[in-house]
Amino acid sequence: MARPPNLRQQRFASEMKRYLSDIVREATDELPELSGVLVEVSDVRVTSDLQQVRAYLLVSPVEKQTFAVRLLNQHHKTIRYRLAQQIRNQVKVMPTVQFFADEVELRARRVEEVLKNLPPPGKDESSAS
């Protein structure tokens, strides 16, 4: 079982989320392939040695989610360079950044659909007597 993140990891992850949110917003404005696509950094997780950052993205429309994640991972060097410009005085080693689709939103929608499609609860025959 993985250990829970310590305070240092939590602080670093929240800083990375703030910086990456700005960088991703700028990248979506600059990349013509992402015009009309809204990309939001929903969560950031950091390894215990602070050398790997995993950013989870929410993308609207959902159909473009895999495309947007793949495109941002292709531009990871530019994104890492921009991140380095902002945090170079805070870290000894510049972390690598990977983007992933945030599946939590999709799972929540599926659960809501299943709950809507359930038949209404029937009356209990034994309680009617």
Question: In the chain, what are the domains?
Answer: 7-114 (3.30.300.20)
pLDDT band at 29 (very low <50, low <70, confident <90, very high): confident
Q: What is the pLDDT of residues 35-81, one digit of tens each?
A: 888 999 999 999 988 899 999 999 888 888 899 999 999 999 999 99
Between CA 26 and CA 21 the distance in angstroms is 9
Residue 75 burial (CB count, 10 A): 14
Higher pLDDT residue, 127 or 77?
77
